[in-house]
Amino acid sequence: MKINIELVVLGILYMLLGAFIIVKTDERSFLMLLYTSCLFISMGVIFFGNLYFFYSLFRKGRRKSFLLLNLALLIITYCISAFLFASWMADVYNIELLISHLIHPTVLKENLPLLVFVIFFSFVYSTIKQLVLNRKFILLIKITIYSFAILFITGAAFFIKHQIDLSYRGDEETLFIDNQYSSLNEIVQLPQFRNKVVYVDLWYSSCAPCIKEFQHLANLKAQLKGKDIAYLYLARETSHPNSRQRWKNTIKKYSLQGWHVYMSKQLEEQVWTTILENQQEKVTAAYPRYLLIDKSGGFVSFDANRPSSGRDIVAQIEAIL
């Protein structure tokens, strides 16, 4: 009966967590929702599997079996989740390329730490539960202190890294516009964009197609080197708790030279209102999106070619230089 009550309580908390994760998912593509659901189910399988099955092996001294089963479960859940995440990130259907993406740094970072943490958490929870049932409170206090110490040290390390990442201020070629503006017109009228063609990139840090386009920027900029053109990156805020940190880390990682704005909700809404009102065909507010502004500050295109279009975007820009 006690087990059933515990299972019901944990089940309810687990479903609430799942609902929160799904609702906060930024990308509404089928693959991203499928990946999020799969990762959530994997977390549940690991936690409940350890709590009600694997941990009993550890208590009976069968630690090798306990470790092997957890390792096998970790590999299976990671491969499934990582494959779905890689499918979304790669945006391709080449099976060999997708398999190679399973060990992509971004895929590893997004999946493996969370699954490993769930294994650790399930072990700590099961241990504390047994200590309480067996009334071993002194040992329980020691384990609690050690757990808090580990969490504190880990949290402090993440906090320090977070502050270091946020302190990034760019360089001579990578510049930030820190002031908050309520419209895109206000930004493009700034002195640094005067008498220049402005190529605007709307993106966000967890947008796979956005990131994919960055690999083509170097070639685009090389072909337009020396021309009166400025690159303006408008990044949306995501639901990730470290959204601003991820934004700056992406800028550093891909050397996104140009001007950067971290859009407020108000600015993002205004930008998309302007775009959608000036589109003849029915379109949705989907990222990435590219805009082209001439030297007088007028909008030439609300759906400019992507960097990956090669000569098409170069020709489009050169036509208004």
**Domain architecture of the chain: domains with CATH:** 2-135 (no CATH), 174-318 (3.40.30.10)
For residues 25 and 39, the answer to whether their CB atoms sit within 8 Å is no
- Distance CA(99)–CA(86), nearest Å, equals 8
Please write the tens of the pLDDT for every residue from 4-26: 777 788 888 888 887 777 666 65
Give the contacts of 244 (CB within 8 A, at least 6 positions apart).
166, 237, 262
Which of 54-68, 188-202, 223-237, 281-295 has the least mean pLDDT?
281-295
Using CA atoms in the order 273, 278, 279, 283, what is the torsion angle rounded to 10 degrees?
0
For residues 271 and 184, the answer to whether their CB atoms sit within 8 Å is yes
End-to-end CA distance of the chain: 76
* In the predicted structure, residue 1 carries a pLDDT above the cut 50: no
- Distance CA(133)–CA(112), nearest Å, equals 32
Q: Report the share of the chain in percent with pLDDT over 70.
A: 90
Mean pLDDT of the chain: 84
* In the predicted structure, residue 101 carries a pLDDT above the cut 80: no
* In the predicted structure, residue 45 carries a pLDDT above the cut 70: yes
Query: Token pair 């990582």 is at which residue?
Result: 82
Closest CA to 39 of 91, 80, 87: 80
User: What 8-state DSSP symbol labels residue 177?
Assistant: -
pTM: 0.69
| pLDDT of res. 71 | 92
